[in-house]
Structure 1
Amino acid sequence: MLGAYVIGIIVMLVSLFVSWRLKSKFNEYSQIGLSNGLSGAEIAQKMLNENNIYDVRVVSVEGMLTDHYNPQDKTVNLSADVYYGRSVAAAAVAAHECGHAVQHATAYGPLKFRSTMVPVLSIASRYMQWIILLGILMINTSILPLAIGVGLFAVTTLFSFITLPVEFDASRRALAWVQNRGIVTQREYGYAKNALWWAAMTYVVAAIGSLATLLYYVSILMGARRSD
């Protein structure tokens, strides 16, 4: 039990550091103007067009680092700093989100699998904490509620790990495109790569944190089974 708490605290601290580092890098690279002067929206549209994707819209959304691709309505959603920005950070993020659109258009396996998990994940996320709490309260009576809760949490953990290859592949596609098409200089490429690396690390830490929490609940469940 103590080991699980220690791991949880370490993961939380690492997560806070990575989140801070990502925001710091984004702010830093947002101050570095892109040599070609293109905005994030223009880069996104250009990448979509050059990948023969004409049914995806590029739109601006509120918030900071709220950028995402929505496969349901086929939109590349860019925060204002990225949509209107003409910086290295804007170029990196815009190309990354379009990387997801390219994945969707080419039926990239991990993205398809993650998309099929979304309905199940929605149900699991809505009820699992309550079921786990009920299971812990009833642990001396029945382990079934806790077992169900752990099973639901395992689904969310699997989703977080399936997300990793999706995110890394989108960054790989983005970096290859901006480099091959001359969107960035060699110096700007290094900045873009670093920015996307820190963004990817947030998903890595989230996956590890989810796994650590899952193992903690599993240890409780196993302890209850042994005491029966």
Structure 2
Amino acid sequence: MYYFILVIIVMVGWLASSNLKKKAERYSQIPLENGMTGKNVAEKMLYDNGIYDVRVVISDGILTDNYNPSDKTISLSKAIYKENNVFAAAVAAHETGHAIQHVTAYAPLSIRSALVPAVSFSSKYVQWIILAGLLLIGNGLKIGTSILLTGIGLFAVITLFSFITLPVEINASVRALAWLNRSGITTLRSHRAAEDALKAAAYTYVVSALSSLTTFFYYVMIYMNRRD
């Protein structure tokens, strides 16, 4: 049953990722009437919200855009930073939404930031710890159940992080769309495109969270079946 559900989630995840790429290609072809680039959009949104200590910088890669609260930096990929189109504006405004969350002490973002060190540690070692636990259990050593349980605990942190990420990402998009509309950056046509693009991005986070939850329960079932 688990494998059936996992296959479905993997397929849905692939579809969500493919959909996002298609939306990016489609809406990258629609220029903003005001000629603003992603960098311009991010900087204006910051200024409109009274934020003057956050830098907007260019980064390598594709769809690698992010906000780093530790150094107050909005990193935009080259296509977003330099281009004038609806997709660039939507992504830039979304990442700026995270900066606004930081300034206003948005609770889910604060919790997510606090979990980063634990998630970093868990992601690095969880698979090895779970594998060690399973191997020890397979060899009849009771200590294996304790090690497996430790691994499950670490994976629980990763799963919790993925679910806390959902309201953070959705709220950033809500802030972005509201500002794009209020400031007149987008027109009726382009605003619908920006909304569609950010919804496509949100779906990828939902699928990721569900995938993590499914895997977590799978490990729990293994533990329940082998602890005796």
Q: Tell me the TM-score normalized by structure 2.
A: 0.97
Deviations 1:153-212 (A, max 9, x none): 000000000000000000000000000110000110100000000101110000000000
- 1:116 equivalent to 2:118? Answer no
Give the corresponding residue for 2:56.
Answer: 58
- 1:205 equivalent to 2:207? Answer yes
Letter in 2 for 1:172: V
Letter in 1 for 2:22: S
Give the corresponding residue for 2:141.
Answer: 141
Distance (whole Å) between structure 1 residues aligned to residue 209 and residue 78 of structure 2: 28
Distance (whole Å) between structure 1 residues aligned to residue 25 and residue 71 of structure 2: 30
Give the corresponding residue for 1:187.
Answer: 189
What is the percent sequence identity of the aligned residues? 55
Q: Tell me the TM-score normalized by structure 1.
A: 0.97
The answer for unaligned runs of 5 or more in structure 2 is none
Listed as ranges, the matches of 1:69-88 within 5 Å are: 69-88=67-86
Deviations 1:107-147 (A, max 9, x none): 00000000000111111111110000001111232200100
What is the aligned length?
224
Listed as ranges, the matches of 1:22-171 within 5 Å are: 22-139=20-137, 140-142=140-142, 143-171=145-173
Distance (whole Å) between structure 1 residues aligned to residue 62 and residue 190 of structure 2: 22
CA RMSD of aligned residues (A): 0.6
Deviations 1:66-93 (A, max 9, x none): 1000111110000111101100000000
Deviations 1:45-78 (A, max 9, x none): 0000111111100001011111000111110000
User: The residue matched to 2:50 in structure 1 has which SS?
Assistant: coil
